[in-house]
């Protein structure tokens, strides 16, 4: 069964969501991310995706305290990303309770450093984040678009041992208009053994079912939960079926 991974995006210690990665289009959902995390856990969910948006924007991990509070007060398996640039950063993330570090920009800008982290911590603890805009990888909290095409980028790191990846189509994120199923299908056609986690635009239980049918190993869901478009109870029970939208 596809793994359900709720998301908490953090700005200034608060649980927020952006629209298409635009920091000017910010909505605060809860002043206390720990309350949100506990709500997810109370519904039987096991995983959590935490994004330090402040860290992603300025290039320095900023909201470790939020991670520490969630990790020490829940049993959720947390991956944490945003602003992880140095060896000290990634160590601090693991020391603060994350089971996985989500890495994006470093894999693009400093591949040797990323390779070293992969070797040091192992593929189970490194979650490669690939944010996509018009088929090209974007970095620095989605602010910088590169000329790297997504498939060659993923193939390169798969060959180096990366197995867990989440791919976010920025054009879909926060719009509640459906995810990039075509993109995910293309990726899995080329890399069928990749542990691919879909992210961005998921707006219904049927959409989750569609992603499972494509072969996605997991799905990150944020705004659809906060806007009550998707029931946590039904998610936790696996009550979703494939729809018919493209």
pLDDT single digits (tens) 16-74: 987 666 677 778 999 999 999 999 999 999 999 999 999 988 889 999 999 999 999 99
In order of their start, the domains of the chain are 3-236 (3.20.20.70)
Cβ partners under 8 Å of residue 45, min gap 6:
4, 6, 76, 232, 235, 236
Catalytic residues: 9, 131
Q: Which pairs from 236-242 meet CB under 8 Å and 24+ separation?
A: 236/4, 236/43, 236/44, 236/45, 238/1, 239/205, 240/205, 240/206, 240/208, 240/209, 240/212, 241/205, 241/206, 241/209, 242/206, 242/209, 242/210, 242/212, 242/213
**Placement of tokens 């906060």 in the chain:** 226
Q: What are 149-207's pLDDT values in tens digits?
A: 999 999 999 999 999 999 988 877 666 677 889 999 999 999 999 999 999 889 999 99
Stated pTM of the model: 0.91
């Amino acid at each position: 069964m596809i793994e359900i991974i709720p998301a908490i995006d953090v700005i200034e210690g608060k649980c927020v969501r952006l629209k298409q990665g635009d920091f000017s289009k910010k909505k605060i959902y809860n002043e206390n991310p720990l309350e949100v995390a506990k709500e997810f856990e109370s519904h039987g969910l096991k995983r959590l995706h935490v994004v330090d948006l402040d860290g992603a924007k300025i290039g320095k991990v900023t909201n470790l305290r939020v991670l520490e509070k969630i990790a020490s007060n829940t049993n959720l398996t947390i991956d944490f990303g945003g602003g992880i640039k140095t060896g000290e950063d990634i160590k601090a993330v693991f020391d603060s309770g994350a089971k996985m570090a989500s890495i994006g920009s470093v894999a693009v800008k400093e591949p040797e450093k990323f390779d070293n982290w992969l070797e040091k911590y192992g593929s189970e603890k490194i979650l490669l984040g690939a944010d996509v805009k018009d088929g090209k990888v974007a970095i620095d909290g989605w602010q910088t678009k590169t000329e790297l095409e997504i498939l060659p980028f993923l193939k390169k790191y798969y060959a180096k041992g990366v197995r867990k990846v989440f791919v976010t189509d920025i054009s879909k994120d926060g719009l509640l208009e459906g995810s990039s199923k075509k993109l995910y299908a293309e990726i899995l056609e080329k890399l069928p053994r990749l542990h691919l986690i879909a992210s961005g635009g998921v707006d219904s239980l049927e959409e989750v079912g569609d992603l499972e049918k494509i072969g996605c190993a997991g799905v990150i869901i944020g705004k659809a939960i906060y806007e009550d478009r998707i029931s946590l109870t039904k998610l936790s029970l696996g009550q979703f079926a494939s729809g018919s939208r493209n």
